[in-house]
Structure 1
Amino acid sequence: MLLKKEFTFDAAHRLERYRGKCEALHGHTYRLAVTLKGHRDDDDMVFDFTELKKLVTAKVLDRLDHAYLNDVMDQPTAENIALWVWDELDGEVNRPNCKLHTVQVWETATSSVIVDREDAESR
């Protein structure tokens, strides 16, 4: 089974190694989807949605919402944000019955990146 929870956060950034309008300071309302893959546990759940929300809030949203992302990570592209989120959550959400499956970050309503374990491990 795949279990997915979505979040939003607002943040500013600039892409210092990019030539174009995104090299200037600007902001986005980002959308984030965290997907776990697994099977039901003794409570018949892959993962408790309330616990997942608390983890994502503490590990990700509290650090990124209304932040200047360049202070948090180097070159905060959607790709690098997704990898950063992966690193923050991977050890926190893995259980005997489930593992982190994908992290998806939308920079706009129509532009997103999806990171999976293979992407995270091939860096």
Structure 2
Amino acid sequence: MSKIRITKQFSFETGHALYGYDGKCRNVHGHSYKLSVTVIGTPIADNNHVKFGMVIDFGDLKKIVKEEIVDVFDHATVFNKNTPHVELANELKSRGHNVLLVNYQPTSEMMVIDFADKIKKRLPENINLHAVKLQETETSYAEWYAADN
């Protein structure tokens, strides 16, 4: 049977700051991110299967992405924990803010790599991650493709 790609789209609000950056993004600011996750697989051929004809139930894909990414990053502020931003992060945490400390510079490029790794670990064996697109602004986005990695 044919391989089919399906895509589910998500949105979330996240703040960040880029330590050491030479532009405005060194300041704490936020984005309305749009995330597209594309998986590839063969539709279920067993007509007795409850998910007959599906590569993966969109609801199952939604559950994975919400648990791993959206619910974690939405309305959080992300900092690279290996920079002096950790001091700001600790201050914000002490005031009740949702702060994420990550092992990378929180650019769209690095976030999309992180997201792809998290999603791949949760997909069923017969489903492969094909692409992840993280749109930071109306005109700017980063993409991860399995074929490139």
Matches within 5 A, 1:29-40: 29-40=32-43
Q: CA deviation at 1:99?
A: 0.5
Sequence identity percentage: 36
- Give the TM-score normalised by structure 1: 0.90
Structure 1, unaligned stretches of length 5 or more? none
CA contact (8 A) 2:14 2:33 kept: yes
Which one of the candidate residues 109, 117, 120 is aligned to 1:79?
Answer: 109
Q: For structure 1, which segment, 5-14 or 85-94, has the greater mean C-alpha deviation from structure 2 after superposition?
A: 85-94
Matches within 5 A, 1:35-114: 35-41=38-44, 42=46, 43-70=52-79, 71-73=100-102, 74-96=104-126, 98-114=127-143
Q: Which residue is equivalent to 2:12?
A: 9
Q: Alpha carbon RMSD of aligned pairs, Å?
A: 1.3
Q: CA deviation at 1:93?
A: 1.5
2:65 maps to amino acid = V
Any idea what SS the aligned residue of 1:87 has?
helix
Larger radius of gyration: 2
Q: CA deviation at 1:36?
A: 0.4
Count of aligned residue pairs for this structure pair: 119
Any idea what SS the aligned residue of 1:106 has?
strand
Gap change, CA 1:110 and 1:94, over 3 Å in 2: farther
Gap change, CA 1:116 and 1:94, over 3 Å in 2: farther
Any idea what SS the aligned residue of 1:89 has?
helix
- Give the TM-score normalised by structure 2: 0.75
Q: CA deviation at 1:72?
A: 3.5
Structure 2, unaligned stretches of length 5 or more? 47-51, 80-99
